[in-house]
């Protein structure tokens, strides 16, 4: 079968000859198990999953797209099963600590796997990708209680995560945001505001969605200096850890973007019934700086999307050129009996 996502030989060359990835097992005790055999096994599993499961649902996912009805987003039919399989394979948090449900593998190895995944179906990959990034925020800035409530559920894909920065009047100029946070006196805040373009902001893949939200505490300075970060779940979490009362986060619209119809890009209304509660993540007025931890993951993810998409396009073109029989080999151009050859063989 033609290689349809990434060239296997290229990936093996980069991992083993250029980066000498197995040396990580010798210099870092956390990676002691990641010798060449293990790395090859991980990459082979990733390739199989990408080719057999992710790739076939990519076209169908884009054609079906997401739909919005009464505030509920339905994702493409195949995505639910894919998301469960993805989580069974423990692919959502490959580099994160096993203590929180991660696999603890080197980033180098996880990146090679991510090239296959994103090349096969990047609209799907945005759901786990954003979740991993949101999990990083909880891991780095969360209190022990916040970590205990959210982190394992996110890194194992039981709940997904998002990032809520953009507003109708605050895109590039995110410091202009107007989402408000009012202290309730019990350590929580009532959040009110409108967010737009939120990837995975609402969907039917998981029982809860955890939104890291940029908002301004009443009386805080204008601009980016007065922005704080809050954790706002779609459903508040009960004492026993299960999702409870609806937290007044309503999806009011979804965008239609060429090639990414399978990923829901949502407009979200927070606290339209004055009943949206969040907890501070990190320090007051330090939200912008904290959010950059996730922005950095998001930038890597977008980079991977572009790179993996271009690689897949190249592999398709190569396969086409190999199989399309047309025209004569230039060396045989004057020979009237010469057979047509594949485009690939034209010098
Ligand atoms: C598919 C998709 C998914 C997204 N997911 C998320 C998400 O999960 N969470 C989230 O919070 N946001 C998300 N966004 C929003 C994204 O972060 C914003 O689109 C981005 O911040 C830019 O804002 P904007 O679209 O309002 O563009 P604008 O700010 O309106 O900018 C439009 C153009 O004008 C240029 N421009 C703006 N200001 C200036 C200036 N002062 N001088 C010169 N040029 C200027 C910009 O460079 C850009 O080219 C997503 C967007 C897309 C397309």
Q: Tell me which residue has its CA closest to atom 38 in ligand 1.
A: 172
Q: Residue 47 C-alpha to ligand 1 middle, in angstroms? A: 33
311 ligand 1 Cβ < 6 A: no
| C-alpha–C-alpha distance, residues 323 and 345, integer Å | 10
User: Residue 68's CB: how many other CB atoms inside 10 A?
Assistant: 16
Q: Whose CA is nearest to atom 39 of ligand 1?
A: 172
| CB of 198 closer than 6 angstroms to any ligand 1 atom | yes
Q: Helix, strand or coil for residue 300? A: helix
- By the 10 Å C-beta count (0-12 exposed, 13-18 middle, 19+ buried), 167 is classed as buried
Q: Ligand 1: does its nearest atom lie under 6 Å from the Cβ of 166?
A: yes
Neighbours of 190 (CB within 10 A): 18
Nearest CA to ligand 1 atom 15: 197
Spans of the chain, pLDDT less than 50: none
Angle at 278 between CA 274 and CA 282, to 5 degrees: 150
pLDDT of the residue at 332: 86
Phi and psi at 257, nearest 5°, equal -115, 135
* CB 191 within 8 Å of CB 180: yes
The confidence score (pLDDT) of residue 334 equals 87
Strands (E) in the chain, as ranges, are 67-69, 72-74, 160-161, 180-183, 188-199, 209-217, 227-233, 235-237, 243-246, 249-254, 265-270, 277-280, 325-328, 340-342
Chain-centroid distance, C-alpha 97: 18
From 73, 161, 171, 198, the mutation candidate for ligand 1 (largest count of ligand atoms within 8 A of CB) is 171
What's the CA gap between 62 and 261, in Å, rounded?
A: 5
Residue 206, helix vs strand vs coil: coil
- Closest residue by CA, ligand 1 atom 35: 172
Q: Which atom number of ligand 1 is nearest to the Cα of residue 173?
A: 29
Taking only the tens place, the pLDDT of each residue in 272-308 is 999 999 999 999 999 999 999 999 888 988 998 999 9
Ligand 1 nearest atom to the CA of residue 199, by list position: 8
Q: Which domains does the chain have, with CATH numbers?
A: 8-66+75-155+298-314 (1.10.540.10), 160-293 (2.40.110.20)
182-234 pLDDT per residue, tens = 999 999 999 999 999 999 999 999 999 999 999 999 999 999 999 999 999 99
Question: Tokens representing 297?
Answer: 């993951």
Q: ipTM of this predicted complex?
A: 0.97
In whole angstroms, give the CA distance from residue 287 to residue 229: 4
Nearest CA owner, ligand 1 atom 50: 197
């Amino acid at each position: 079968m033609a290689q349809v996502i990434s060239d296997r030989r290229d990936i093996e060359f980069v991992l083993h000859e250029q980066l000498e990835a197995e040396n990580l097992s010798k210099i870092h005790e956390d990676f002691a198990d990641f010798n060449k055999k293990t790395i090859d096994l991980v990459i082979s599993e990733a390739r199989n999953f990408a080719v057999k499961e992710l790739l076939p649902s990519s076209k169908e996912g884009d054609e079906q797209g997401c739909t919005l009805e009464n505030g509920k987003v339905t994702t493409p039919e195949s995505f639910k099963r894919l998301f469960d399989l993805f989580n069974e394979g423990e692919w959502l948090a490959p580099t994160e600590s096993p203590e929180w449900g991660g696999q603890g593998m080197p980033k180098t190895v996880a990146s090679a796997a991510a090239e296959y995944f994103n090349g096969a179906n990047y609209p799907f990959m945005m759901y786990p990708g954003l979740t991993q990034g949101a999990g990083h925020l909880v891991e780095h800035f969360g209190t022990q209680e916040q970590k205990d409530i959210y982190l394992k559920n996110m890194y194992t894909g039981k709940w997904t995560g998002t990032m809520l920065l953009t507003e109708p009047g605050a895109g590039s100029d995110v410091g202009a945001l107007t989402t408000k946070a009012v202290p309730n006196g019990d350590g929580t805040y009532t959040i009110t505001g409108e967010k737009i373009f939120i990837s995975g902001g609402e969907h039917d893949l998981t029982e809860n969605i955890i939104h890291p939200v940029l908002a301004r505490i009443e009386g805080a300075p204008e601009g980016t200096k007065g922005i704080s970060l809050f954790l706002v779940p779609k459903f508040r979490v009960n004492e026993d850890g299960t999702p409870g009362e609806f937290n007044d986060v309503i999806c009011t619209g979804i965008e239609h973007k060429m090639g990414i119809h399978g990923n829901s890009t949502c407009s979200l209304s927070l606290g339209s019934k004055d009943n949206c509660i969040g907890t501070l993540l990190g320090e007051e007025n330090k939200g912008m700086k904290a959010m950059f931890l996730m922005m950095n993951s998001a930038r890597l993810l977008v980079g991977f999307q572009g790179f993996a998409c271009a690689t897949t396009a190249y592999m398709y073109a190569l396969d086409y050129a190999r199989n399309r029989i047309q025209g004569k080999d230039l060396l045989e151009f004057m020979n009237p009996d010469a057979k047509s050859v594949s485009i690939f063989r034209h010098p």
